[in-house]
Structure 1
């Protein structure tokens, strides 16, 4: 999939969002630590813009095929979209999704702000039926942590026919593997903390749209609520984007190799993998205790709740009381990193071997 400029995504990650090519200009946009600007320009005040944000926004916007707005966190981006839903309107969302998104929807529903319809996002017919009368359809694909995949194009068409907007959380796939705007989606949301920044060192979120009016509405909401990113975090995320294509390529190759081997291991009852990306979920044959033991027995794999970094991490998702009860108690979500795959497998295999009951 290529950019309208004719450049491949791998090239866009490196070239977009750079300063102009004039003598003595830096190759990278520097960190601009400023809250106040001289009047008469485009920014006016630090809540409305920053050159360092712009570098990140221009790059991600080019990758997704739209205009990007950076936010303080992924949740700041999520709640900004949900705040636009009218009083008492209906939101369709996956029953399995990022907990923060579901908790935000649940909080608004508990306060009488909206109504929710939770669906199996992989059941296209059921999702299409749920679109009737909805104001917003929230898609996550692949879902977290069940790794279900949605038919984005079909669902989006049905949602639009019903008069609903469509939001797609593209955090797991990244714009290198999936571009929801080209499939008809209205808004793409990212937790840039994950794959985009890629080094487990920055909190940042983003929204991308290809409609100028919607962009202006979201821009106004960001300025009004003050949910703007830190300058250092935006700089780190922009730097992380420069190697996104390399990291995704390596992590995905590692994941596919591990999936083949995990399917053959007797300690693993089920492997969930959508066929792309670097997130894998396994269900341990001996149940919850085995899953808890696995995440404590490795030397390279790190037990942590986030994902998308260069390092391989995993966790038993049902350790969180807010995780959906339909997620198996022995499910371990794995974020495969860019380490040597043989080292990753040797570490996993050693730990898994101890969980096999004779």
Structure 2
């Protein structure tokens, strides 16, 4: 298989090339399969017996995502299902250690999960400011740490973390897991940087069309991948076959969508720097961004997400309500451009600024998107006067 990720994602997860055979995998719409019995009279574990264990459609997408990330992928019913599986498996692997290091600003679903584990199981959740250089590495090095959870870039404040630094510093026995949703497998491969697990909300850029709910956890160690699969079977956090098929179809065009949206994100970030309504632009593709060097060292591009700091919540809400092309909605990574004031959600960490707008850039014309955002920013500026 060629080395280029852009080529691999087009060809990975295809059925065997046989004359008359299909180019694409089929949607396997069956919950039940013919029984297989081994010579010992027990069910043959090598024979699929029920769709909660797996389907050929899952396996095609798992093969493709695993190949892109350099590990063994396990498909789950949503992004938060993938996060939950990774956290639970990591804590079980830690052999009793319940100390979890996490960025103080992170995806609200992950924060809510860790708070629940803290309150119900006594997990020691250590929140660290991701903007403080070396802070996550220092926290990871504390003896007794079982899991270090990273987001890079952080959702929604766009800080980056040097994954190699954290892995090198982590206490013996600690697992390092990375939420790679913002970067996608095309821009960053945490397993190659030393992480043990990477998770993705495939709902976002991989599926790419805002019509799928799906997640994946990818492990470098086959034993961890087995534990993730067992967790999926035990909890029933399974994907639907049609969702898996749609996500695999979306994956084929990820590179072209990503390249277009990333170029537009850069344009929007540069122009927003000059707008009087914007206090700060958070985008690692800008040379002035504090995480630019980290992005250049461990990413193949700065991505399609950025954030704008406006003076206050009211200003941010006015902008979100005034756009015509940018859709005011939760989510990211789709072909349509979205924006949202994240602190409107009660579960969002308090460390996220009230006036922060997260922007997910889609594939519309760049000039059209900027014109729409600029008129909304202009309106916010006039109202503030």
- Normalising to structure 2: TM-score of the pair? 0.89
2:379 and 2:115 mapped to 1: Cα distance?
40
Kindly indicate whether the alpha-carbon contact (under 8 Å) linking 2:52 and 2:233 is maintained by their aligned counterparts in 1.
Answer: yes
- SS at 2:145's partner residue? coil
Alignment partner, residue 219 of structure 1: 229
Kindly indicate whether residue 18 of structure 2 is the aligned counterpart of residue 26 of structure 1.
no
Name structure 1 gaps, 5 residues minimum: none
- State whether residues 269 and 284 of structure 1, in contact with CA within 8 Å, keep that contact through their aligned partners in structure 2: yes
Distance 1:77 1:325 in 2: 24
Contact 2:179 2:198 in 1 (8 A): yes
Task: Describe the SS at the equivalent of 1:135.
Answer: strand
1:354 aligns with 2:364: no
Does structure 2 conserve the Cα–Cα contact (< 8 Å) formed by 1:124 and 1:155? no
Aligned to 2:6: 10
d(CA) in 1 for partners of 2:132 and 2:167?
Answer: 14
- Which of 310, 314, 321 does residue 284 from structure 1 map onto? 310
8 Å contact from structure 2 (residues 5, 68) kept in 1: yes
- Is 2:46 the partner of 1:37? no
Question: 2-side partners of 1:156 and 1:11: how far apart?
Answer: 30
Displacement of 1:123 after TM fit? 3.1
CA contact (8 A) 2:86 2:199 kept: no
Is the contact between residue 194 and residue 200 of structure 1 (CA under 8 Å) also seen in structure 2? Answer: yes
Establish whether residue 81 from structure 1 lines up as the match of residue 91 from structure 2.
Answer: no
User: CA RMSD, aligned part only?
Assistant: 1.3
Show the 5 A alignment for 1:120-131: 120-131=129-140
Match in the other structure for 1:197: 207
Within 2, Cα distance between the matches of 1:120 and 1:153?
A: 18
User: Residue in 2 aligned with 1:242?
Assistant: 252
> What are the superposed Cα offsets for residues 248-282 of structure 1, whole Å, 9 maximum, x if unpaired?
11110000011110000111111111220011100
Tell me which of 145, 155, 173 is aligned to 1:144: 155
What is the deviation of 1:108?
Answer: 0.4
User: Is 1:257 equivalent to 2:262 in the alignment?
Assistant: no
Per the alignment, residue 323 of structure 1 pairs with: 348
Supply the distance in 1 between the matched residues of 2:24 and 2:34 (Cα, whole angstroms). Answer: 23
Query: Alignment partner of 1:111: what SS?
Result: helix
Residues 273-282 or 80-89, more deviating: 80-89
2:138 and 2:356 map into 1 onto residues whose CA distance is 30
Aligned partner of 1:310 among 317, 335, 338: 335
SS of the equivalent of 1:296 reads helix
Which stretches in structure 2 are left out of the alignment for 5+ residues? 37-45, 286-301
Alignment deviations for residues 204-231 of structure 1 (CA, whole Å, 9 cap, x no partner):
0000111111111111111111111011
Distance across 1 between alignment mates of 2:48 and 2:195? 29
Distance across 2 between alignment mates of 1:224 and 1:95: 31
Which secondary structure does the structure 2 equivalent of 1:29 belong to? coil
> Separation in 2 of the partners of 1:49 and 1:354?
52
